[in-house]
Structure 1
């Protein structure tokens, strides 16, 4: 049976165990996870938070990370601006990025979710509204959600990956993980 760790990656933590080549030490997975023999199944950018899966089985790791399997990834996204139907429809139809057209996303406006505080907090501007979206994609391009929202005029302020497939970060504190057998 494979071990799978559901890790709530805090903002500012790299999705790797070492930080080679950086002149300054940055936070890595090794600052939070002392389990031997597990490796990230996919990535989550340093400035993103939420669910990062780690496992000890190469086949499972590939199945989770490989876009060919189209495992849905759901994000809670705080955006700058007031999303209107045309922008949301563009996300639902697919957005043309510099590396091609994305697959259609599932997206809906949501009320501000009850999340842990982000450290550091996002910069709030009194003159510019912000809103929350729940966005689900089945791809894994580099910084895809941020590029998609920016392309429709809604820059991302905070990005939290809430789930990958049926696995969720619900109930896991930032910097903590839950281990399950698969």
Structure 2
């Protein structure tokens, strides 16, 4: 039976086990005490936090990460600005990015979620409002949610992947993992 781990990937950690950048490698998954033989099912960029699934089975990895399966991924995005329906509606229809149009997303404004503190914290600006959005997508392009929010004039300040399919990061502190 395939092994599946749920990891709360901390901010600043690469979604891989090695970093070939020199002279100073960046933090990777290898520093989180994960068991041998598992690898990420998809990616989460270095500046994003939250749920990363790891498996030891290629078929499971393909099912989770292949956009043809349209597995929903739920993100909580802290954005700069005060989102209106005029900002959110294009996201719901799909926006055109440099690499083509996105699929329509489910988007709604949410209250400040109960999350762990980010290290380092987000810079707070007294004169610029911010808000939280829940964004659900079924694809996973490079930095897609960040590029989508920027395309409608809402730069992302903090991005947390909360859910993939039925799996959630709820109850895991940054760097913690558990078997699914």
The TM-score with structure 1 as length reference comes to: 0.97
Stretch deviating more after TM superposition (28-37 or 45-54): 28-37
- Once the two structures are superposed, residues 16-70 of structure 1 have per-residue CA deviations (whole angstroms, 9 ceiling, x without a partner) of 0011133212110010033010000000000000000000000000110111111
- Which piece of structure 1 moves more, 14-23 or 141-150? 14-23
Cα distance in 2 between the residues matched to 1:105 and 1:86: 15
Question: Which residue number in structure 2 is paired with residue 17 of structure 1?
Answer: 17
Paired residue secondary structure (1:131): strand
Q: Report the counterpart of residue 158 of structure 2 in structure 1.
A: 158
> Unaligned 5+ residue runs, structure 2?
none
Distance 2:33 2:5 in 1: 9
Q: How far does the alpha carbon of each residue in 1:132-181 deviate from its partner, in whole angstroms, 9 at most, with x for none?
A: 0000000111100000000000000000000000000000111000113x
TM-superposed deviation, 1:113: 0.3
**Alpha-carbon separation, structure 2, partners of 1:69 and 1:44:** 18
- List alignment gaps of at least 5 residues for structure 1: none
Distance 2:21 2:13 in 1: 16
CA RMSD of aligned residues (A): 0.7
User: Within 2, Cα distance between the matches of 1:92 and 1:34?
Assistant: 37
Q: Determine if the alignment matches structure 1 residue 65 to structure 2 residue 65.
A: yes
How many pairs are equivalent? 180
Q: What SS is found at the alignment partner of 1:64?
A: helix
Q: Report the TM-score when normalising by structure 2.
A: 0.98
CA distance in 2, matches of 1:137, 1:103: 7
Separation in 1, partners of 2:71, 2:12 = 25
